[in-house]
Structure 1
Amino acid sequence: MIVTFDRALIERLLAHAEAASERRATLTQLFDKSLRKPGHGAREWGRQDDIDPAKIPAGLWLVGDHGIYMMSNGLPLLPSDDGQKPNLCAYAREADPAQNAGRAHDVKRQAFGGDDGCEFLEATLVRQALRQASGDTLRMTITRKPSNFWPDRPSLKSFRRRKMSDATPDTVSAGPQSRDQIWASAVAVAADSVEQLRRCDVDRVVSLVDAADRTALTGWLIARRPDLAGAVAEALSALAQEAYA
């Protein structure tokens, strides 16, 4: 699916990201131990406080939730011009809920699927696309496979939103134990251990992983915490309703 962005706004977001000395990590970048602070490499899935923000490369986040938009990964955050939102977002014209409410949700689902997602687009990739763009519009092709800026060129491929099942040997060791480590790392985003996970945080943990991995995660979680079975069911129901709303 081809979507279009305001070229000047993308240039502004990119300039902010490139000028920043520190930047935010995406969930996928939490896997990258080369971005960690010294002594914080033990966990397979790190936390934000494990990451050295000065090591994060400049770039934009391509986000799909209530619409499709890009924002800078630079710190401090770049607020909206009216000061009402902490992040200035460049919405795809076809998936902007404020300007295209009738189609925004459908376009987002066609591009990202029912789940929310975030892809990191390196600054060099975005800068190259901006140089090739004509007029005031930047075009981008988004599919559930790797996304490409328009026109399609192999060098412009971005990273696919990572699923836990896509983890490579460079990030997670092979074998049954590694899967346990992955699920424990997902829980660690909300609690120090699965034994300390609170009922109110179950939905947060479940929503972190791709839909394809939720059955495995929730089965693992219920086996260790049967008392959370009801909370798991509620979280899955809420995510299903959101996906098909």
Structure 2
Amino acid sequence: MFTFPILAVHKVIARGEADAAANGGFRNPWYGTRPRQGEKPGLWLVGDEGIYIISNGELAGGQKPLVFYSDECHPKGDTDWWDYKHRHFGGDDGIEFIDADLLVPSFDRNFGITHPGIRLTENDISFSLITR
């Protein structure tokens, strides 16, 4: 499972919305293979060198998305990040789009939570709400 502070998730979504407003919309989560589909507020869960979430608004030239690493899998600080990523995300790099409309309403109904948990299986992504 990968966890992120709820404040970080809110910041990533808000940054994506601000970038979209300033730069013409949201980036397509399917790299343009399905034009005009899925271009909405959300975030991307990325497995690469560590596991992190990034904002999905269009970016101006040279601008970078907002990035937050998971609490369990940061390459600078977690000595076993590589093993953790392979065990819970897989050996290949990858990216999964998560719609803001799936996350934010659950945050708003559960005021005591501090972290959403994201679990990946071969076929599914599941979410849990955690209080630490």
TM-score, normalising length: structure 2? 0.78
1:13–1:72 Cα contact (<8 Å) kept? yes
- The CA distance in 1 between the partners of 2:128 and 2:33, in whole Å, is 29
- The CA distance in 2 between the partners of 1:117 and 1:31, in whole Å, is 16
| Residue 64 of structure 1: how far off its partner (Å) | 0.3
Correspondence for 1:10? 9
Correspondence for 1:32? 34
Correspondence for 1:121? 98
Q: Give the one of 61, 64, 75 matched to 2:44.
A: 61
Higher strand share: 2
- The CA distance in 2 between the partners of 1:143 and 1:103, in whole Å, is 20
- The CA distance in 1 between the partners of 2:80 and 2:101, in whole Å, is 31
- The CA distance in 1 between the partners of 2:4 and 2:111, in whole Å, is 11
1:45-194 correspondence runs (5 A): 56-76=39-59, 86-100=64-78, 102-131=79-108, 132=110, 134-150=112-128
Extract unaligned runs of 5+ from structure 2.
none
| Residue 29 of structure 1: how far off its partner (Å) | 5.0
1:63–1:69 Cα contact (<8 Å) kept? yes
TM-score, normalising length: structure 1? 0.45
- The CA distance in 2 between the partners of 1:140 and 1:133, in whole Å, is 18
Extract unaligned runs of 5+ from structure 1.
37-54, 80-84, 152-245
* Identity fraction in percent: 31
1:11–1:130 Cα contact (<8 Å) kept? no
What is the aligned residue count?
A: 123
Higher helix share: 1
